[in-house]
Chains A and B, each alone.
Chain A
Amino acid sequence: MIFDFELVADSIPKMLMGIGMTFQLLFLSAFLGLILAILLLLMRISGKWYLSWPAQVHIYIFRGTPILVQIFIIYYGLPQFEFIRDSIFWPILREPFGCAILALTLNTGAYVSEILRGGVLGVDRGVLEAGAALGLSARQKFIYLTVPIAARLSLPAYSNDFISLMKATALASTITLVDMMGIARTIVSQTFAPYEIFISLAIVYMILTWIIQKTFGRIEKYLSRYVKPEGLA
């Protein structure tokens, strides 16, 4: 077969018209997901079973099922219930965009809360004891010691999840959203050239991944300014 570079050059700008939708899905669900993750984390480490248990169930369900299934259940399933159609959330859940955001948020929230929990567990116990010995309250220890240290420890895993989330936004095209993937599928149906189009799309996603990696790399470097440089014993 012949690889049609002209088609690639033509279709990349078209697909980039969907980048706004991709970004909206990514940033909105990442933001809401982070809030959810912090909430789930606090529930899990609260030491109260009636908070920790629901959080664990949520995490188990959303880590244990494919995100595509979650999107479909929310998009096709929720409108079946009358109380949902009657609720104040209906204007959001009626729209595929709202459903996609909800699904991505619930999913990334589950993963990120586990990432953050790993960070919290990684904080040196001695540091917290020193805080306690100086008279800091549990809340002060959490805010001033646990959070900044756990944030640094969580960042590498979080950046991975952020990239996964970016790629997962492509699934929103299955519920009629016109993101980059949605546009690519439209072009494919018109040109019957899946090879060129999807390779072009893959390149766009790779560039985005590269930018995200670099950005997180910089944040990591900043947050690790107080960590021993490697090789220095």
Chain B
Amino acid sequence: MTTPTPEILIQMKSVNKYFGNFQALKDINLEVKKGEKIVVCGPSGSGKSTMIRCINRLEEHTDGHIVIDGNELTDKVKDINAIRREVGMVFQSFNLFPHMTILKNLMLAQRLVRKTSKAEAREIAMHFLERVKIPEQADKYPVQLSGGQQQRVAIARALCMKPEIILFDEPTSALDPEMINEVLEVMTDLAKEGMTMICVTHEMGFARSVADRVIFMDAGEIVEEAEPEDFFLNPKNERTQKFLSQILTH
């Protein structure tokens, strides 16, 4: 296949993914340019998470091509970790390292993967903790923080690696309602600064204000792909219309 042009950071071509006999992804084609913000939505079990988990190879795709910043993900990619440090990920359940303080959570991968010096890693960690507005929590353990604070730490932890892309896997779904906004604010700031983002979320307000494109998935397929205005006002596919009517009427 041809090498993608440099400004395309993620390219998925005819990607299929099976779990046993179950086909989780069907012929996924997607290109994400540098600086683009993509929101992925769809009913549960539609393959949204699986798709973004394939991008940093937490799941292996069965066939098709995935190219990240010019490097194709294959079995032969010896240093998958090299790709992973360019692709940050934020999980639904935060997944902070419970046995480490917040500061150490932010320093670990910098030290081990980026080989940053201790002093510099600490400085970078504090910088990003300030960005997510919780520098005063640096010496606490994750369990001592609220869900929203933990998720902001998780975002800061991903940012510490200075990734090219950040993937968000339903970052606000596990949060109490009053904490959703503080996380969305951080994500919106990040988007404004030009970070390339793929975000699986049902926060339609966020999608409207931040996304360059909204992707709707159902049953493992990308059913519709459009700019937010079009997506919300003139959804073309019947399944999209049905989904939107279900989540927007409440």
Query: Do A and B actually bind?
Result: yes
Q: A129-B58, A134-B85, A227-B143 are in contact. Are A144 and B108 (CB under 8 A)?
A: yes
Interface residue count for A (Cβ, 8 Å)?
Answer: 22
Please determine whether A226 and B99 come into contact, CB atoms closer than 8 angstroms: yes
A102-155 at interface with B (beta carbon < 8 Å): 124, 126-127, 129-137, 140, 144-145, 148-149, 152
A228 sits at the interface (CB 8 A): yes
The stretch of B90-98, B130-138, B183-191 that contacts the partner chain: B90-98
Total contacts A-B at CB 8 Å: 73
User: Is B84 engaged at the interface, CB distance under 8 Å to the other chain?
Assistant: yes
Across the two chains, which residue of chain A brings its CB closest to B140? Answer: A226
Q: In the assembly, what is the distance between CA of A145 and CA of B142, in Å?
A: 14
Segment 174-198 of B: residues with Cβ below 8 Å from A: none
CB-based contact B56/A152 at 8 Å: no
Q: A134 contacts B58, CB within 8 Å? A: no
- Tell whether, in the assembled complex, residue B161 and residue A129 are in contact, meaning their CB atoms are under 8 Å apart: no
Query: 0/1 per residue, B151-175, Cβ < 8 Å to A?
Result: 0001001100100000000000000
Whether the Cβ atoms of B112 and A136 lie closer than 8 Å is: yes
Q: Which residues from B are CB-within-8-Å of A132?
A: 58, 84
Closest chain-A Cβ to B209's Cβ sits at a distance in Å of 26
A124-B95 contact in complex given A135-B161, A136-B109, A140-B112, C-beta closer than 8 Å = yes
Cα separation A135 to B116 with both chains bound (whole Å): 14
* Min C-beta distance of B155 to chain A, whole Å: 12
- Residues of A194-233 at the interface with B, using a CB-CB cut-off of 8 Å, are 225-228
Contact status B141-A133, CB under 8 Å: no
Q: Verify B113–A127 contact, CB threshold 8 A.
A: no
State which of B95, B108, B113, B142 has its C-beta within 8 Å of the C-beta of A126. B95
A136 touching B93, Cβ below 8 Å: no
Q: Which residues of A contact B58 (CB under 8 A)?
A: 129, 132-133
Partner of A228, one of B87, B89, B97, B143: B143
Contact A134 B98 (CB under 8 A): no
Chain B residue with the shortest CB-CB distance to A147: B99
B56–A225 touching, CB < 8 Å: no
- In the bound complex, residues from chain B placing their C-beta under 8 Å from that of A134 are 84-85, 88, 108-109, 113, 157-158, 161
> Are B99 and A135 neighbours in the complex by a CB distance under 8 Å?
no
Q: For the complex, what is the distance from the CA of A124 to the CA of B98, rounded to whole Å?
A: 10
CA distance A133 to B142 in the complex (A): 18
* With known contacts A148-B99, A226-B143, A135–B109 Cβ distance under 8 A: yes
Q: From residue B105, how far is it (CB to closest CB) to chain A in Å?
A: 9
Can you spell out 15 A-B residue pairs with CB atoms less than 8 angstroms apart?
Answer: A129-B91, A130-B157, A131-B97, A134-B108, A134-B157, A134-B158, A135-B81, A135-B84, A144-B97, A144-B108, A145-B97, A226-B98, A226-B99, A226-B141, A226-B142
Q: A126-B93, A134-B108 are known contacts; what are 8 more A-B pairs with Cβ within 8 Å?
A: A124-B98, A127-B96, A130-B154, A131-B97, A132-B84, A137-B81, A225-B141, A226-B99
Which 5 residue pairs are nearest across A and B when measured between Cβ atoms? A135-B85, A134-B109, A130-B95, A226-B141, A133-B89
Binding site for A on B (CB under 8 A): 56, 58, 81-82, 84-85, 87-89, 91, 93, 95-100, 108-109, 112-113, 141-143, 154, 157-158, 161
